[in-house]
Amino acid sequence: MSDTYKSVPVLPSEITPKSLYFNRRGFLRAAGLLTGGALLAACAPGGGGSQPTGDPATVAAYTGRKDELGNPLNSYDDITNYNNYYEFSTAKDAVNPLSKDFKSHPWSVEVSGLVSNPKTFAIEDLIKMFPQEDRIYRLRCVEAWSMVIPWQGFPLASLLKAVQPTSAAKYVRFTTLEDTKQFPAEGDTADYPWPYHEGLRLDEAMNDLAILATGLYGSPLPNPDGAPIRLVVPWKYGFKGIKAIVKIELVADQPTTFWQDINAHEYGFYANVNPDVPHPRWLQSSERRIGELGMRPTLMFNGYADKVAYLYQGMDLKANY
Amino acid sequence: MRNLFLLKQVPHRLLSGHIISKMSFVNWIRKLPFTPLQIAMHVYAWSELVLIVYGVLTHHLTANPIQAMEIRTGRHAIALLVLSLACTPLTTLLGWRELLKRRRALGLYAIMYAILHVIIFVDLDNGLAWNYLVQTVIQKSYILYGMAAFLLLVPLAMTSFDVWKMRLGKNWKWLHQLVYFTAPIAALHYAMDVKGDVFHLSGNINAPVNYGIVIALLLVLRLPFIRRFFASLRTRIVFLFTKTIFHPQADSES
């Protein structure tokens, strides 16, 4: 009979959280300040994630990688603790703790509308059918900040080709889950047209840059970033990247989008990143890259002009903002 | 009513046999050179700055700390301005005259945060890029409103000291009534900064709309006939209260 090693029983609460274990210096610095400001700690804002950081091994594999223009990646911590996800909260740093109980499995996406092969896919089937690719994209928010994010996902075009849109289909419409239990803030914000809905023109959707993302930094997509599946359209403002998708429909008429419904004067359907088209409230000619102090100039189509400019030949981009 | 709260010095025999007059706790509180309201006000006013500095030191100010600081200083500035505006109506409603002495400090705290807010916007956010700033202020109406509100506060802050009351005489009061315009403009600046459409009440407009409603109420309560109504209402309620508690049999007379 072999002696199996039995470790000393340890309460789960005694185990150092992974994030702290891998961030000892930061923890010590904060601890030193905390003892000095013990009174203030009680009312300090809730920053830092309460969800575990991504698997350190896979996160480490991405360290040092850059996008095609040489910009370094933003940290996993920043990407998962600074989110516009109003279903949870309008406070960007509150989305992470509030979304920790979000159930992203089981999940299915219904693809229907003007297609020959409508089908409802389970999320696992989607990942099996369409192999995940690494896409490092810049995300440019309409609020004039941006990040560089290593997504894992598959081109939206692959999914659309599998369901075979008919010739009548001109636009793709996306819808998020509507569930006041999963989304605590949805119940008490009657002034928003829930559920979150977005749309793309069919040729925009068929562009290879548009992906359905299911992973981040080599781990499954975390809740604050739109688990389990979200759209990433890097040449458009971030609000086009609809999160927690449950339905994708092919339609003939241009769909309205969530932010258009709230303020059509400010938020348009196309929402292409364009330094020459100012937003009524922000000059869109510059942005702050999260992690940097200064502002940097905004690039046309967020730097993806060579891949997407053809979609807008002859279009007045000021009128079609 | 006031008799209940007169200072009381009670003779007290110590163990040694000496008799001293012992002051009550209430007495001791009343002799301090500051009031509980003053303490509360100063603590509240400084709390936001302390929290922001703490957040900067512990990296707890979200991934975009410059924007977080900008928003928090702006929000606290408007909160303090509204509190300052609330003093007179609250005195009308409650009869608490000490509130009137706190208006100046609250107003000065408000402009302190407004100055921090402007500095963060001009320097940290935009790196003192004057061309860009001029362009932004001219083109973006909500920043223009913010600038207007701030510029209206400056003469008020500069003339908030007693020496100016003597120099300006009657005009001092008229000058300081400019705050009735400053507060709504500041609320509009806030409302147009958040994502949404305040004019259609859609989007993230709850906080600024609430401020707007409160400011409107505080201005309405200053209208002479409404002020007289509430002041006399307060007097009548206090009269009824003292009559029923202390002289219940008086009801059967008259």
- The residue of chain A with its CA nearest to that of B133 is A283
Cis peptide before B33 (omega within 30 of 0): no
Same domain, B103 and B228: yes
Hey, what long-range contacts does A123-127 have (CB within 8 A, 24 or more apart)?
A: A123/A214, A123/A228, A123/A229, A126/A154, A126/A159, A126/A212, A126/A214, A126/A229, A127/A214
Where do the domains of chain A lie?
14-41, 56-312
Candidate from A42-56, A71-85, A254-268, B162-176 with smallest mean pLDDT:
A42-56
CB B98 within 8 Å of CB B37: yes
Residue A283: pLDDT over 90: no
Q: A242-271: string of b/e by CB count within 10 Å (b at 16+)?
A: bbbbbbbbbbeeebebbbbebbeebbbbbb
| pLDDT over 70 percentage in chain A | 83
Number of domains, chain B: 2
- Tell me how close the Cα of A192 comes to any Cα of chain B, in angstroms: 6
Kindly report the CATH number assigned to the domain that includes residue B169. Answer: 1.20.120
Same domain, B25 and B149: no
Of B66, B67, B203, the CB nearest to A263: B203
Residue range of the domain that includes B22: 1-32
Same domain, B19 and B83: no
Residue B153 lies in a domain: yes
Which pLDDT score is estimated for A74?
93
DSSP code per residue over A20-87? HHTTHHHHHHHHHHHHHTHHHHTTS---S-SSPPS-HHHHHHHTT-B-TTSPBPPPHHHHHHS--BTT
CB B230 within 8 Å of CB B221: yes
Residue B9 lies in a domain: yes
What pLDDT, in 10s, does the model give residues A154-180?
999 999 999 999 999 999 999 999 988
Residue B110: pLDDT over 80: yes
Same domain, B6 and B49: no
Q: Write down the CATH superfamily of domain A56-312.
A: Oxidoreductase, molybdopterin-binding domain (3.90.420.10)
Q: At what angle do helices B65-94 and B206-220 cross, to 10 degrees?
A: 30
Q: How many CA atoms within 13 Å lie on the side-chain side of A321? A: 19
Best of A33, A78, A93, A225 to disrupt the B interface (most B CBs within 10 Å) is A93
User: Which of A185, A184, A191 is CA-nearest to residue A258?
Assistant: A191
Same domain, B157 and B146: yes
Residue A38: pLDDT over 60: no
- A120 forms beta bridges with A110
What pLDDT, in 10s, does the model give residues B10-46?
677 778 877 777 777 777 777 888 888 999 999 999 9
- Tell me how close the Cα of A70 comes to any Cα of chain B, in angstroms: 21
- Tell me how close the Cα of B60 comes to any Cα of chain A, in angstroms: 5
> Residue B199: its chain A contacts at CB < 8 A?
none
Chain B residues with CB-CB distance to A under 8 A?
A: 47, 50-51, 54-55, 57-64, 66-67, 124-127, 129, 132, 135-136, 139-142, 192-193, 195-197, 200-206
Residue B87 lies in a domain: yes
**DSSP assignment, residue B99?**
G
- A286 forms beta bridges with A297
Same domain, B14 and B126: no
Same domain, B23 and B116: no
Contact A281 B192 (CB under 8 A): yes
Q: How far apart are CA B230 and CA B215, in angstroms?
A: 18
Same domain, B4 and B106: no
Residue B244 lies in a domain: no
- Rounded to two decimals, the pTM is 0.79
Q: How far apart are CA A180 and CA A185, in angstroms?
A: 7
Q: Backbone dihedral region of B180: left (phi > 0), alpha (psi from -120 to 50 degrees) or beta?
A: alpha
What pLDDT, in 10s, does the model give residues A174-188?
999 998 888 888 876
Residue B243 lies in a domain: no
Q: How far apart are CA A317 and CA B76, in angstroms?
A: 39
Residue B195 lies in a domain: yes
| C-alpha A128, offset from chain centre | 21
| pLDDT over 70 percentage in chain B | 92
Q: Is the ipTM of this complex over 0.85?
A: no
The token duo for A185 is: 């803030």
